[in-house]
Amino acid sequence: MKNIYIIGVGLIGGSLALDIKSNNPEAKISGIDSNEAHLDEALSLQIIDLKADYDDLNTADLVVLAVPVDKAIAILPKVLDLVSDHTLVIDVGSTKLPICKAVAQHDKRRNFLATHPIAGTEFSGPKAAVHGLFQKKTNIICEVEQTTFKLQEKALQLFSNLGMRIRYMNPKAHDKHIAYVSHLSHISSFMLGKTVIEKEKNERDIFDMAGSGFESTVRLAKSSPAMWTPIFEQNKANVIETLDEYINNLKQFKAFMEADDFSEIYSEMKNTNHIKDILNGIN
Amino acid sequence: MKNIYIIGVGLIGGSLALDIKSNNPEAKISGIDSNEAHLDEALSLQIIDLKADYDDLNTADLVVLAVPVDKAIAILPKVLDLVSDHTLVIDVGSTKLPICKAVAQHDKRRNFLATHPIAGTEFSGPKAAVHGLFQKKTNIICEVEQTTFKLQEKALQLFSNLGMRIRYMNPKAHDKHIAYVSHLSHISSFMLGKTVIEKEKNERDIFDMAGSGFESTVRLAKSSPAMWTPIFEQNKANVIETLDEYINNLKQFKAFMEADDFSEIYSEMKNTNHIKDILNGIN
C-alpha cells in the first residue's frame, strides 16, 4: 500500500500515519481535514507528506477515516463513492453499529472494514499523535465477513505491522460492551471533575489537596467534547443503561453509609477488588 | 532523632521508614504491627531494623502512627500515655477531625501532630513501601498550634527532609475538602468497577475491550477495604454530601441524554475540561 489517505489528522489518524510511515518508508501519506490549521500542523510535524482533497481519493490504496463518529457516518458513503475497487477504507470510531448501518446498502460496502482500535489518550489534535500508540493494543473488527477477502488480508497485515491484536465482534455487541468499559468511564470522570470544580470555588484547595488518585480518576475529563458528544448520541440506549446501573450502585453505597452498615461498605469494596485480576489481564 | 517507632508497617509507614533511614543512616527504626507476618516481611525487606512492642515506646524520639483510621483513634491515646515528654508522635490518616477530638483533652496532646501526607498508591502492605514516595507531595498539618514549638520544629525538619511541602488547615476543613478530592474519587472508582464486573460476567470481554482509560478510572478500586471502610465511617457526613452531588450530576447528565439535548452534553464536558488547568497545577 503506497497511496495512503488519512481523513482527520488528530490523535488517532495522526498516530496511525506516523506508524504506517515508519513501517513503509515508501508510502505517501496524504492528509484531509476540515480544520486547515490542523492540516498545516500535521504537515509541519511530518505526520503527513502532503495535503489532499476528496477528489484525490480515486488513487488511494488505503483510506483511514479518523473523524468524530457523527462526521464519520456522513463522510463514509461519500468516500466509498469516490474510491476505486481495490481501495481499502477503514474507520476507527468508538461506535460501530451506526456506521455499519450507514453503508449497509452501499455498492462499495465490501471495500469498507469497520474497526475500533482500543488506544488513545485524553489529548487530541495532530500534536497529540505519537509513535507506537497501537503496539500491543486490541483492535476490534466488526462485520469482517462484509469486506472482500483481499482487503481483509490487507487490513490484517496493516494491523499486524502496527503491533495490534485482533478481536472480531458484531457491531451491536461491540457498542453494548464498550459502553461499560469506555463510555461510562468517561462520564464518571467528567461528572467527578464537575462535582469537585462546582464545590471547590477556591481552586487552591483542590490544587493543594488533590493527589495522584484524584488525578487518575479525572484524567478522562480532559477528553474532547467534540469527539465524545456524538459517541454518547450514537450509543445513547447503551450508555443510559450503564448510567442507570452506575447511579443505582452509587445510591446503594450511599444507603449503606446512611444506615451505618459499614460491613456492607467493606464487602462492596472487597468484592470489587477483584478488578485487580481483570486489570492484570489487560497488561 | 535516633529512636524511631513505626506503628503499622504498610505502604505509608513502610515508605516513611525507608526515607527516614536513607536521610538518617544512624537512626534505629523499630516496627510495631498487629500483623506479625507484615512485621516479619518489613524486617526481611529491611524496612525496619527490629521488631518492637508498645512497652518500648518510652525511649522513642519519634512515633509514626500509620494504621487504618479506626485503629488510630484507639491506639493514639495509649501511645501518648507511654511516650516521654520529648517524643514527637504523628499520625498520617486521611481523616483529621476524629483523631484530633480523640486526644483533645489528653495530658500529652502537645506531643502529637496531626498530619495527612497526600501520597500513596492503590497497593498496601510492607511490599508496597517505596523510596521517595513523599518527594514533592503535600503534607496537610492540622491544629499545629496544639503541638509544642520544639516538636513542631522537629516535625517540619522531618517533612522537609522527605521533600514535602506543608499546608496548614483546621481538621474540619480538611475533612470536608478531602471528601471531594480523595474520598469521592475512591467511591466513584469502586462503583465503576462494580458496575462493569456485574454486567460483564464473561470477563474476557472486559479483558479484551478495556483500554488505558478504563484502567486509569478504576485504578483506585484496587484499594484496601480495611483502610477505606473506617475513613468513610469517620467522614460519613462529608462523604454523603459529595455522593449526593455526584449522583445528582450523573442524573442530570442522563436526563440531558434522554431529552436528546446533546448541546448541553457538550457544554457539560466543555466546562469540565477546565480540570486540565487544575491538574496542571498539581504537577
CA distance A92 to A82: 19
The strand pair at A112-117 and A88-91 is best described as: parallel
Candidates A180, A239, A273; nearest CB to B199: A180
Residue B54 predicted with pLDDT over 60: yes
* % of chain A with per-residue pLDDT over 90: 88
Residue A184 contacts residue A246 (beta carbons within 8 Å): yes
Residue B209 predicted with pLDDT over 90: no
Residue B202 predicted with pLDDT over 80: no
Residue B240 predicted with pLDDT over 80: yes
**B3-170, CATH topology level:** Rossmann fold (3.40.50)
For residue A105, the distance in angstroms to the closest alpha carbon of chain B comes to: 27
Q: What is the DSSP letter of A95?
A: -
Candidates A177, A217, A250; nearest CB to B205: A177
Residue A74 predicted with pLDDT over 70: yes
Q: How many CB atoms lie within 10 A of CB B111?
A: 22
Q: Residue B134: closest CA among chain A residues belongs to which residue?
A: A211
Residue A234 contacts residue A98 (beta carbons within 8 Å): yes
pLDDT in the model for residue A282: 53
For residue B23, the distance in angstroms to the closest alpha carbon of chain A comes to: 24
Residues of B in contact with A261 (CB under 8 A): none
Candidates A178, A186, A192; nearest CB to B209: A178
pLDDT in the model for residue A205: 66
Contact B182 A211 (CB under 8 A): yes
Candidates B192, B265, B271; nearest CB to A232: B265
Its pTM stands at: 0.93
Closest to A141 in 3D by CA, of A106, A184, A98, A90:
A90
Q: Tell the residue number behind the cell numbers 503535600, with chain if given.
A: B138
Interface check A220 vs B, CB under 8 A: yes
CA distance A257 to B57: 37
Residues of A in contact with B203 (CB under 8 A): 278, 281
Q: What angle do CA B157, B161, B167 make, to 5 degrees?
A: 65
Residue A280 predicted with pLDDT over 90: no
- Mean pLDDT on A42-57: 97
Q: How many CB atoms lie within 10 A of CB A22?
A: 13
Closest to B88 in 3D by CA, of B144, B14, B164:
B144
- Mean pLDDT on A228-238: 98
Q: What is the pLDDT of residues A154-205, one digit of tens each?
A: 999 999 999 999 999 999 999 999 999 999 999 999 999 999 988 877 666 6
- Mean pLDDT on A254-280: 93
Residues of A in contact with B223 (CB under 8 A): 269, 273
pLDDT in the model for residue A203: 63
- Mean pLDDT on A119-125: 89
Residues of A in contact with B185 (CB under 8 A): 192, 213-214, 217-218
pLDDT in the model for residue B122: 84
Residue B189 contacts residue B217 (beta carbons within 8 Å): yes
pLDDT in the model for residue A208: 74
Label residue B208 by pLDDT band (50, 70, 90). confident
CA distance A245 to A242: 5
CATH match for A174-282 among 3.40.630.90, 1.10.3660.10, 3.30.43.10, 1.10.150.20: 1.10.3660.10
Strand-pair partners of A23: none
- Mean pLDDT on B136-150: 97
Strand-pair partners of B32: B7
Q: What angle do CA A233, A193, A244 make, to 5 degrees?
A: 45
Tell me the domain boundaries of chain B.
3-170, 174-282
Q: What is the pLDDT of residues A234-258, one digit of tens each?
A: 999 999 999 999 999 999 999 999 9
Q: Which of residues 85-104 of A touch B (CB under 8 A)?
A: none
pLDDT in the model for residue B205: 66
Q: What is the DSSP letter of B125?
A: S
Q: How many CB atoms lie within 10 A of CB A265?
A: 22
| B interface test, pick of A130, A185, A267 with most B CB neighbours within 10 Å | A185
Label residue A233 by pLDDT band (50, 70, 90). very high
Residue B206 contacts residue A181 (beta carbons within 8 Å): yes
Interface check A115 vs B, CB under 8 A: no
Label residue A281 by pLDDT band (50, 70, 90). low
- Mean pLDDT on B90-119: 98
pLDDT in the model for residue A204: 65
Extract the C-alpha cell encoding A22: 515508519
Phi, psi for A26 (deg, rounded to 5): -80, -10
Residue A206 predicted with pLDDT over 80: no
pLDDT in the model for residue B255: 98
Contact B225 A270 (CB under 8 A): yes
- Mean pLDDT on B72-80: 98
Structure ipTM:
0.93
Q: What angle do CA A273, A169, A151 make, to 5 degrees?
A: 135
